[in-house]
Structure 1
Amino acid sequence: MKPKSFRIPSPDLQIDFSIALVQIRRECLQEALCKTIKDMDIAGLDKELADFVPKKDMAILASRGLRGELLFPVPCLLTRNPKLLAYYRLLYGFSQKAFYGAEFGLAIFKPMEDRGLISKSNGESIPSLCHALSECASSLLKGVGEERLTKEFMDDLSLLTLGPQLRGGANVRKGTAGIVRIFESITGIVRESVVSSNRQCIEIKNAAGRRVLIEFSSDPDIMIREVMAEKRYRNIIAMEIKGGTDFSNIHNRIGEAEKSHQKARQAGFVECWTIVNVDKIDIDMAHRESPSTNRFYRISQTASGAGEEFKDFRSRIIALTGIPG
């Protein structure tokens, strides 16, 4: 009996993560924290730690041979390196969405993490932020237990939060890349009728002399509308592009597309299309899970510029926009 062979995909995503991790360590993990402290006035740092951190917590850290700023932020530290806010957010286990969402009112501090930017509004509130974060840090210290507290353990906690963030970012990039490929495919189809174009919108003139807009959007991802009058449109096609390649998650992606298409239907779109980045898709199953979708296409086929699926996509774009074939 011939031995069964197996095919394991290339670990491209993990390779990308490893490259990103090197940069992130330099910017907002323990490596960045240590580098920042190296150039600071330690006496001033210690004074703020004494002001902002409960004495019993400082004693616990000292008993483990750890400095207070490994767990507790203070104003002089965040002022010196605003991006270290990400270090504490990751250490405490908060995603960016949760931390900077409306619930906590911390959105004004996001420029510190993203761009290292301190403004008048967020700068004045840094002491209050540190007090709030110190309470969170105390809860974390109590919850994990002092016996497990080491620099390595705290680094592990940060990485546990960082992993989903990196994967989420990778998924967003895949989704964006998929949208761009479809947008470029449409551009090629309507090229002879283009009046003007930029990175967000293509304006074409159809055979009836009417203006038709093909636009990047967020919900739906791409929409095609005919201009009827000033700020009045005939909504023609709403497209949801799902760029993820993980077949096991295809049901969730189609479900997301269905939610978007339901809103598109309410907005009066004539056609709703879902374009996926998974080649082996059960179309009957997909229609059951997204009954609002008129047509399902695959990115690989639609962006190829050839084949029956592309021909169908092309002919429908031409017919529905009313441009010469």
Structure 2
Amino acid sequence: MKPSGQIDFYVRLQAVRGRYLSEALKTTVDDPAFTLETLNGELSAYVDAQHLKHLASYGLRGEVCFPVPYLFRRNPYLLGYYRLLYGFSCKEFYDQGPFKRFQGMENCGSIQPRLEPLIPALCRSLTKTGETLVELIGTVSLPIVNDLQLLTLGYQFWGSRNVKVGQSAINSFVSLMKVLLAAYSLDVQERQITFLNDSNLPVTIRIASDPDVSITLKLESEERKLVAIEMKGGTDRSNIWERIGAAEKSHSKAKAKGFNERWTITRVDLNSDPGMLRKAREQSATSTRFFFLDHIADPTTPEAMSFRQVLGSVMGVKLAP
């Protein structure tokens, strides 16, 4: 086995270490232009004295766990330092609540002028989170702070790796569709493919989420929802049922929207093992069909022929063999 995931994580860790971890805070404070008096004054104003005293009892300064406006103005990237320390992934922190507007601080290292007046309120909110963390973990040290940040990074890296794996499967499927529809005049855009079927009606294949892929047919009076497809690109059999469960949630929504065909395409072969297929149907009763991506991409397999026949009949086209 090749530890490709761990190698990828290590490379990415080295890339962010100097921007979001302890080295970033040290570099910011070590800057000759950095004024310690300003930092101390803001820490006293923003953080409860008991929490500062608690950190001091372990030989730590307040900025190790608590942000203040002066720190962010000197180095906006430090928002990532505190987000990681408090245990929030990018999605959790920026996609929910009021923090989306501040994402440019972590990503670009800048504060937009319109956000300047909001920085004090941001810091007050984050220091409350930091105070809760310090209270609950009790013992605090630089290694513990680093460990907490790495735990968040690992979760974040794993999530982004899963997204990358899923996107790779979707890209493979889109490439397959282009080959199968080569006889038709395709209008290919970034996230969709449109063409006229054999009845001269427009069919659209869209790449999105919930479902990952949708296929619709445009009529004069309505848009017919033909197929909803969930792509699960992971090859690890040990957590296939978790991925099938995620597909079931999406298919339940697709069913409510009016999709009668709801397919789950995986990188784990479910159809060759009756027991696996039976369990897959139990885990995702809303899925109407299961396909193995590697098989449907190989035109010599019975599964590929079945896929082409069913999909071709649904879309009203003759797919390439």
TM-score strictly above 0.5: yes
Alignment of 1:80 onto 2:70: no
8 A Cα contact 1:262 1:292, kept in partner: yes
Match of 2:130 in 1: 137
- 1:155 and 2:149 equivalent? no
| 2:118 counterpart (125, 131, 135) | 125
Provide, for residues 275-308 of structure 1, a one-character-per-residue CA deviation record: whole Å limited to 9, x for no partner. Answer: 0121356112212322222221112222345422
**2:236: which partner in 1?**
246
Percent identity of the aligned residues?
38
Q: In the aligned structure 2, how far is the partner of 1:264 from the partner of 1:60?
A: 52
**Partner letter of residue 147 of structure 2?**
D
SS at the partner of 1:199? Answer: coil
User: How big is the shift at 1:226?
Assistant: 1.1
1:210 Cα shift? Answer: 1.2
Partner residue, 1:3: none
Paired residues, number:
313
Contact 1:182 1:302 in 2 (8 A): no
Residue 143 to residue 255, structure 1, CA distance change in 2 (3 Å): closer
Counterparts of 1:257 and 1:194, CA distance in 2: 31
Q: 1:38 aligns with which of 7, 30, 38?
A: 30
> Residues 193-232 of structure 1, C-alpha deviation per residue, up to 9 Å, x if partnerless?
13311221111111111111111121111111111137x3
Cα distance between partner residues in 2 of 1:120 and 1:236: 48
Q: CA deviation digits over 1:214-259, x for unaligned, max 9?
A: 11121111111111137x3111111111112232222222222222
Change (3 A) 1:224 1:139: closer
1:307 aligns with 2:301: yes
| 1:166 Cα offset (Å) | 1.2
Q: C-alpha deviations, 1:131-181, integer Å up to 9, x for none?
A: 222222223223222xx3221121111112222111111111111111111
Matching residue's letter, 1:203: T
- Amino acid of the residue matched to residue 92 of structure 1? Y
Is the Cα contact below 8 Å between 1:75 and 1:126 reproduced in 2?
yes
Q: 1:287 to 1:114 in 2, by over 3 A?
A: same
The alpha-carbon distance between structure 1 residues 33 and 285, as it changes in their structure 2 partners (threshold 3 A), is: same
TM-score, L = length of structure 1: 0.88
Query: Structure 1 stretch 302-311 or stretch 196-205: which is displaced more?
Result: 302-311
1:198 maps to 189
C-alpha change, 1:290 and 1:63, in structure 2 (3 Å) is closer
1:193/1:323 contact within 8 Å kept: no
**Superposition pairs of residues 226-237 of structure 1, within 5 angstroms:** 226-229=217-220, 232-237=222-227
Partner of 1:69: 63
Q: Which residue pairs with 1:5 in the alignment?
A: none
1:242 and 1:253 in contact (8 A); partners too:
yes
Q: Which residue of 1 aligns with 2:85?
A: 91
Q: Report SS of the residue matched to 1:220.
A: coil
- In structure 2, the CA distance between the partners of 1:303 and 1:121, relative to structure 1 (3 Å rule), is farther
Aligned to 2:245: 255
| RMSD (Å) for aligned C-alpha atoms | 2.1
Distance in structure 1 (CA, Å) of the matches to 2:267 and 2:304: 14
* Separation in 2, partners of 1:228, 1:201: 18
Report the equivalent of 1:180. 171
Structure 1 stretches of 5 or more lacking a match? 1-8
Deviates more, 1:178-187 or 1:283-292: 283-292
User: Given residue 82 of structure 2, which amino acid in structure 1 is its aligned partner?
Assistant: Y
Superposition deviation, residue 85 in structure 1: 1.0
> What amino acid maps onto 1:311 in structure 2?
M
Runs of 4+ in 1 over 4 A off after TM superposition: none
Unaligned runs of 5+ in 2: none
Q: After superposition, where does 1:162-177 map in structure 2 within 5 Å?
A: 162-177=153-168
Structure 1 Cα separation of the partners of residues 55 and 161 of structure 2: 36
Residue 287, structure 1, aligned to residue 277, structure 2: no
